[in-house]
Amino acid sequence: MQIEGKRAVITGGASGIGLAIAHRLVGAGCSVVIADIDTAALQRCSTEHADFLLYECDVTKRESLEALAGFAWSTLGGVDLVFANAGVGLPLKPLLDQTEAHARWVMEVNYFGVWHTLQVFGPRLIEQGTECHLVVTGSENSVAVPAPLLGAYNASKHAVLGLTETFDRETPDFLGVSILCPGLVMTNILSSLEKIPDAFGGPESTPIGRSNLGFTPDQIAINALAGVDAEDFYIFTHHCNRDMVAERLSNQIGAIERQTQPNDGSDICNTRHLLGDVFEQMGQKHQ
C-alpha cells in the first residue's frame, strides 16, 4: 500500500514511535490525527507541530475510541491508515513480586486498548470498502521473552499478537494488517509508571524517564512504513531478534518431533482445518 496522501489515525501518537510515524506521514503528504491520553504531550504537539490534528483519547475506554473514530471520519472524510500504538510499561520486578493491580493496568492499555481499536475501527474500515491498513504496535516481547522482570508486559504483548493475527485472518483482503515488533527503542515508556491510576495500584517512581539505549523512534517509523508499503504482517526492526525467534521455534519443533508421531491420528482433530471449515460455512471473512 502506498502511503502518500493517505488519511491516518495514530493512538499514543503524541510521543515516541507514534510521533515519529506521524512526522513521516506528514512528510509524505498525509493528513494525520494524533490521539493520546497525555494532555501535556498533546499540548506540546499543538505548539511545535502545526500539521497535526489532535484528539484526547483513552484507549482503555471504548466510548473514547468511538468518539475518536467519529472525529476522524467527519474531519478527514475517511481513514486509510490506523496505528494502534498506545502502550505502557510496568515496574521491573520478578513475576512473583509483581502486583495484580499493575498487571491488570498493563492489560487494560496494551491489550484492551488494541481490542477497542480493532472493534471500533475495523467495522468502519470494512464498511468504507477501500484499500486501507491497520498496524498494531506489538513488541519483540510478542514473539519471545527477551528478558525476565517483564512478566505481565510479556503476556500483554503475546496476547496482542494473537489478537492481531486473528483480526487479519477474519477481515477482507483490502484491509491490510501488520504487527510492529520493535526491540529496544529510545522512548519515554518508563515514565508511564508515574501515571498509573490509583485504581490500578497508583504511580511508581522510575529512575529514568527515557531509555538512552536502543534505536531512535524515527528508525522504527521508517521500518513501520516500509512494512506497510510491502504489506508485511510482521514488521521487525532489530536483526538480533532472529536468534530468539529461531531458538523458540527450534524448541517447539524439537518437542513436537520427540513427543508425537506423524501418523498418530491427530489429523482428524486438526483445529486449523476444523475451524477453517466452520469459518467457511459462516460466510468466510467479515464483509
User: Comparing C-alpha atoms, which of 8, 2, 54 is closest to residue 30?
Assistant: 8
Instruction: Say which amino acid occupies 50.
Output: A
The pLDDT of residue 224: 98
Spell out the per-residue pLDDT of the chain, length 287, in tens: 899 999 999 999 999 999 999 999 999 999 999 999 999 999 999 998 889 999 999 999 999 999 999 999 999 999 999 999 999 998 889 999 999 999 999 999 999 999 999 999 999 999 999 999 999 999 999 999 998 999 999 999 999 999 999 999 999 999 999 999 999 999 877 778 888 888 888 888 765 545 577 999 999 999 999 999 999 999 999 999 999 999 999 999 999 999 999 999 998 988 888 887 777 777 666 55
CA dihedral 53, 55, 60, 64 (to 10 degrees): -120
Kindly report whether the global pTM for this prediction surpasses the value 0.75: yes
| Residues 7-238, CATH architecture | 3-Layer(aba) Sandwich (3.40)
Distance, CA of 179 to CA of 286 (rounded, Å): 20
Listed in sequence order, the DSSP H helices in the chain are 16-27, 39-48, 62-76, 100-106, 112-128, 151-170, 217-230, 241-259, 271-281
Instruction: Say which amino acid occupies 135.
Output: V
The pLDDT of residue 284: 61
The pLDDT of residue 208: 53
Kind of pairing, strands 53-56 and 81-84? unpaired
Q: Which residues are catalytic?
A: 153
Backbone angles phi, psi at 100, to 5 degrees: -65, -35
The pLDDT of residue 207: 55
Please report, for the chain, the start and end positions of each structural domain, with discontinuous segments joined by +.
7-238, 244-287
The pLDDT of residue 211: 59
